[in-house]
Structure 1
């Protein structure tokens, strides 16, 4: 029978508001099961008959019987006619299963594989659900035409019915692949066909696939210096050896590939809008890059980062469109151009890579949601995507200029801004003698989100500074954040 403390424990569990969503018999069953798991009810211990237990708990006898039947079905108790119920002999397997771990065991690091250690060691790629100035790489979502998206989604459901609830092909829905190919060819000067498009969840997934399918652990990959942190972490997790190539006003210094890239298997770059400097790879360097890759049997991994948001004329054609040898993997995403919650990115692949990349993707997460893909395809086909990007381009350039004015008004004693021709963030380099880490920590305490530039460099003498995102924030929101940032800088430099 139950001791007084055990009965009170069952009563407390049953009456706990946190369990209000569980049926009454389920609460009783879980309370008794927990006593068994904790070892408080030993093997062979008789349980109270259903009638007196029901009276003690203030419930019906049927409720207790339902709880006992479930415990019996799960093997926690044994029931015999005329003998009542008792804790099952099999409870020896259960007893103590939920006992608290020893403190020293809980503090021990888990035993991970070498690959697991590499993955954990990268620190991952942080995302923010409620961004605040000046978190970079975050698009404005408050202006998105949700009413249009909702209408198109309803049209898709009416047309396709329950088929939108089914699996999508691992390569992606045909209508979306066709629309993406048309967009790349028209807007980016690419050579894309629907059969060479692979729909993914993000550019980060594309980078992970490239790192693991195109190279082996220990292989050399040429990268920009500085470079996008999501790419560096994907490559580090795959065990690749990154070889930094300096960036100047014309992008990656491609001439250095001949000296530093003789045995490299691939090169990664963001030619349309280099992250974080904003430089655009010149045409002659693009052509030289294509020639190098063909001569060295290497892959070009082209992340067309922020290519939609170019503020001074049309951007140069993508490298993929200049490559007749099919050595280029082109990566794009709708996370920045539309909204992060969409979770749709893509690759345009050389023909020989379509099958292996699709198989690998199917092992990672199967496929992208069918309904989202069909809705996006319709959104693009109807011209809404182009109209939205044009509208946001105007908003973003105005916000870039507003941030530039704020920086010059409040931070001119501390930073030198580098005005980008496109993108969603403004690089600002510190004047000599300013401790970047102290500024980042002070800003964090002041509630200002920042990305430091030093961590994006591989060189030993990087130029410290800040990367200020502006796309997701109104001029008023940026002004409210720039003032505490100025206070932090004055404190760090001893001006207050």
Structure 2
């Protein structure tokens, strides 16, 4: 491959002559034919337009380290086939009317070659990640059918008052010194505000120095996986559980061990069997995903005892603990941990707006520097400007006022959703996870419905009803059909008619 970029050649070029060309020789056959084919590809691709002047033969020969006669032979072949024409004293130019063969573009030729060639060999990590990515299709409606009633979990309402406050802070702080690289650990002021908040409201015990800012909880999981996992290591996860966490652990080379969940969270009684095996344990104790159960205090203490005795570490994903509607909040595992075995993950995406990719990790002191080093190797740091806006948003009291407003709205929708489900399908279903979080889980008592899941989902989506299965979140096959209903992103007026439509969809499938 030769890059034609000789300043001397400009003396020989008119305004339409090629001044920069990436000429790729294919290495097949005589050099003059390689030059001919390379130039032909440039013409057919449109890189050399009609009337464009080709590089002088001596300049091209110099760039390719071949004799001038070789280049001239290549040009002669182009002339013979009608691609270029020679002008006495004017060099060689692309003809004004190219042959029909130009319609067979280089892109088409390369596409054909790509189809004939073998697929690229991916790493084990990429292969696993791709499989999970493609499997996401099972979780969502396909095609362009509009959804009149969408109970998608994970969506949230963007509060207009908070949006205005955020916009004003963004404009005010933009002129500050936010245009240079920042710390991979995150802005100090934001870490101070987070430490104050979680120590006061979540019962955590941490200093700002233990906190690292990340681009959302998913990046936190990825860095933690790289921090701990070597191929073959074992990680305990909830069953059912958060699919993206399992994907991260398996992509890092871990063997994932499912641990069953009941109404009190992860069933920790069998942990002693894993004491010498597991490196990490991943848990969502405040609102288990997807069942919504809350890990009891006795089981929290049992988890911490396991971690200390097994020299393992607990990943506490506290993704939506701010929204609890019944009962007293239970302190975070991190605040109960006396042996520094817990890594606590929090996020602002589920509270403010998903596009705000800011989360944080509270780390044991000895893990702060290794975590920051891995973070630095991936993407340096989270956007400095957004960090400072968020810090001011918290410091001004906007964040906690936002939480109070949203709790009231979500509580109203939660009550409406529960009432609608009970009125329409009460005798047919069980409700799980109704006292906290931003979604609940509906499990149907009719076991035959699980076999009809695909048909039920297709019927619902075709009718404009967005419902979402729990089955992809299980490693082992579930016994009954489960559906997840988010209520933070749907309008109040859509809940009752949406559940009425659900009844119409489900009834023909009931035994």
Q: Above 0.5 in TM-score? A: yes
CA distance in 1, matches of 2:288, 2:412: 21
Q: Give the direction of change, closer, same or farther, for the CA distance of 1:490–1:374 in structure 2 (3 Å limit).
A: same
Q: Choose from 229, 249, 258 the match for 1:244.
A: 258
Greater alpha carbon shift after TM alignment, 260-269 vs 393-402: 260-269
Residues in 2 aligned to 1:421 and 1:80: alpha-carbon distance in whole angstroms: 84
Contact 2:237/2:256, CA 8 A, preserved across alignment = yes
Partner of 2:226: 212
CA separation in 2, counterparts of 1:37 and 1:457? 52
Counterpart for residue 40 of structure 1? 44
Q: What CA distance in whole angstroms lies between the structure 1 residues aligned with 2:253 and 2:428?
A: 38
Q: Please tell me whether the aligned partners of residues 122 and 237 of structure 1 are also in contact (alpha carbons under 8 angstroms).
A: no
Task: Evaluate the alpha carbon distance shift between residue 480 and residue 364 of structure 1 in structure 2; reply closer, same or farther with a 3 A threshold.
Answer: farther
Return the match for 2:397 from 366, 378, 383.
383
Asked if the contact 1:267/1:300 (under 8 Å) is kept, the reply is yes
Q: Residue 199 of structure 2 contacts residue 205 of structure 2 at CA under 8 Å; is this kept in 1? A: yes
Q: CA deviation at 1:491?
A: 3.4
Deviation at 1:239, TM superposition (A): 2.3
Partner of 2:231: helix, strand, or coil?
A: coil
Residues 471 and 477 in structure 2, CA contact (< 8 A), matched pair in contact too: no
Give the 5 Å matches for 1:247-396. Answer: 247-396=261-410
The more displaced of 344-353 and 476-485 is 476-485
Name the residue aligned to 2:467: 450
CA distance in 1, matches of 2:502, 2:405: 30
Mapped to 1, the partners of 2:328 and 2:120 lie a distance apart of 51
State the match for 1:168 in structure 2: 182
Alignment partners' CA distance in 2, 1:42 and 1:458? 52
**Stretch deviating more after TM superposition (340-349 or 77-86):** 77-86
Determine which of 437, 452, 455 is the counterpart of 1:438: 455
1:83 corresponds in structure 2 to 90
Task: Determine the structure 1 residue equivalent to 2:500.
Answer: 483
Q: CA deviation at 1:39?
A: 4.5
Q: Deviations over 1:436-474 (max 9, x none)?
A: 232222222223222212222223444321011111112
Distance 1:37 1:414, change over 3 A: farther
TM-score, structure 1 length as denominator? 0.79
CA offset digits 1:42-62 (Å, max 9, x no partner):
99999378xxxxxxxxxxxxx
Q: Give the distance between the partners of 1:231 and 1:191, measured in 2 at CA.
A: 25
Q: Whole-Å Cα distance in 1 between the matches of residues 412 and 45 of structure 2?
A: 69
Give the CA RMSD over aligned residues: 3.5
Gaps spanning 5+ residues in structure 1: where? 1-24, 50-76, 88-94
Misfit runs of 4+, over 6 Å: 41-46, 77-81, 124-128
Q: After alignment, is 423-432 or 130-139 more displaced?
A: 130-139
Distance 1:38 1:349, change over 3 A: same
**Greater displacement, 204-213 / 414-423:** 414-423
203 and 419 in structure 1: CA distance in 2 versus 1, 3 angstrom threshold: closer
Q: Secondary structure of the residue that 2:241 maps to in structure 1? A: coil
Name the CA shift for 1:468/1:144 in 2 (closer, same or farther; >3 Å).
farther
TM-score (norm 2): 0.77
Structure 2 counterpart of 1:400: 414
| C-alpha contact 1:44 1:86 (8 A) present in aligned 2 | no
CA distance in 2, matches of 1:156, 1:138: 28
Whole-angstrom distance in 2 between the partners of 1:103 and 1:283: 62
